[in-house]
Structure 1
């Protein structure tokens, strides 16, 4: 197994054909085919199934693809870092984030950084909360934004935060006329909610259960953005995280505070002993600044610093 074989295989899966992969790699289709066949002989199992011009990865091939792509990305990062060291350029860094922080707040944070401290190359990867700590520990990300629990060995938490969850309803829904909503107001309604039952979805389920409410009709979504668009259509109502609600305005969706406080929590994590800790701490301060400007009730959990939001419901 060598680097060229892995590169050929990953490119074939990404492009869907040997011919397209050859164009991307600047080589011939027979060369790509040979490299993939050599890789299959090396690993001892079939990576791809071929049906005419269509190439489909096998189940084993998909598992292998995830590892191979991660390795190639790591090599690419190593090349960039070697270049930074050789040229004394500002060190590049990678950020892994849950979507609620990464979509709106990370770009604003980077825009406020001092130009002298901003590396030439920055990578922002939106990931599920359980993936972010793994990326930080493994060195795939320098900085991570994720929801607890975060008890992975080798991690350092440099900021922990919370803010109250909010209700989201269509603009023409009767609930939109209320300035403050109660959990009881959602009884019998179709919910747009998240499919992950172990993090935010669990928080919502527990809030409803305390009032004896069970979701019988739901639209299960992979992100809060998707849930908000379902709410916009009038198909559902929902309880959503405050970061997304106040940072990514969706037309014809009304955001209202909840009478009962249910807190959305997140933390900023780095690997223990990270060499860029001073720069990353600057990012933490800017994060508190931009989130505090947008999200009502935002606060730092460790009490060492506190910043309250000034955003308004819409």
Structure 2
């Protein structure tokens, strides 16, 4: 396949005819038809029905067009990045994070970063630790924040301070007057859990099993922030990362220390082989500073 063939195919699909496609591509109708025929030959797909001199897209053409559009989105992204670097001298920063950090804490770091780098385009991507690690390892993202690192990781790994989970209860809950929550205090309580498969869910379940505490487990959510929202609505109690809990202080919940301690490790990832951009280093420095500030605030 040649790029010109793909361009001709895309133009026909968008414009609806070879005549309109030829005008868009500044070429002849016969040349567009020739390029389409070459594409069908190269792909071994019959993309169009020929009826009265018209090209009628077959299902194969529509399926292929979806893939072509995805490819062109990527090309547009590269064009935009080149324009940014040329015109602004700044470029783009791609950040990957686990949801607990990416949905709450990370925007506060981005806010600080944009004050000094207003022209930089910042993209924030959230997913599991494994996926974030893959994104950074492949250099799709410039910096990542994860809760664990695989044994086969190729990224550069920096350790962030450990944090201790906190307990979040509705403001009018019987436990809201406490200064600290023990695992035994949650005996028989409606508990809002993260879904199975999340590493912190497994750690939490093991702790309550060791303590011999039985909770009512009929509510689950994929993200800790969603669990906290449910607590705010009076649906139960939960344990959460303190950086997530920060967003819910003063919103109808009480955030309290919890014992015995459950530690959440956090790691900062850079691409392998020293491929760290200046923008990534600047952002990571702000992230570490913000992280330490907020964690110290919870330990006071």
Q: TM-score, normalised by structure 2?
A: 0.72
Shift of 1:100: 2.1
Q: Distance in 2 between matches of 1:29 and 1:124?
A: 39
In the alignment, structure 2 segments of 5+ residues that lack a partner are 21-35, 46-62
Shift of 1:113: 3.1
In the alignment, what sits opposite 1:137?
137
In the alignment, what sits opposite 1:99?
99
The residue matched to 2:125 in structure 1 has which SS?
strand
Higher Rg of the two aligned structures: 2
What is the CA deviation profile of residues 195-250 of structure 1, one whole-angstrom value per residue up to 9, with x for unaligned ones? 04341111211221110234442311011111111112222111111110124446
Q: Distance in 1 between matches of 2:127 and 2:198?
A: 15
In the alignment, what sits opposite 1:217?
217
Residue 244 (structure 2) pairs with residue 244 (structure 1): yes
**Are the counterparts in 2 of residues 232 and 251 from structure 1 also a CA contact under 8 Å?**
yes
The 5 Å alignment of 1:1-314 reads: 27-28=15-16, 74-87=74-87, 89-113=89-113, 117=117, 119-249=119-249, 251-295=251-295, 309-311=296-298
Stretch moving more, 223-232 or 84-93: 84-93
**Are the counterparts in 2 of residues 224 and 244 from structure 1 also a CA contact under 8 Å?**
yes
Q: Distance in 1 between matches of 2:95 and 2:76?
A: 15
In the alignment, what sits opposite 2:58?
none
What is the CA deviation profile of residues 95-146 of structure 1, one whole-angstrom value per residue up to 9, with x for unaligned ones? 1112222233322223323756555311112223222111112222111111
Q: Distance in 2 between matches of 1:7 and 1:176?
A: 61
In the alignment, what sits opposite 1:52?
none
**Are the counterparts in 1 of residues 148 and 266 from structure 2 also a CA contact under 8 Å?**
yes
Q: 1:114 to 1:197 in 2, by over 3 A?
A: closer
Q: Distance in 1 between matches of 2:216 and 2:110?
A: 42
Q: Distance in 1 between matches of 2:44 and 2:257?
A: 55
**Are the counterparts in 2 of residues 74 and 140 from structure 1 also a CA contact under 8 Å?**
no
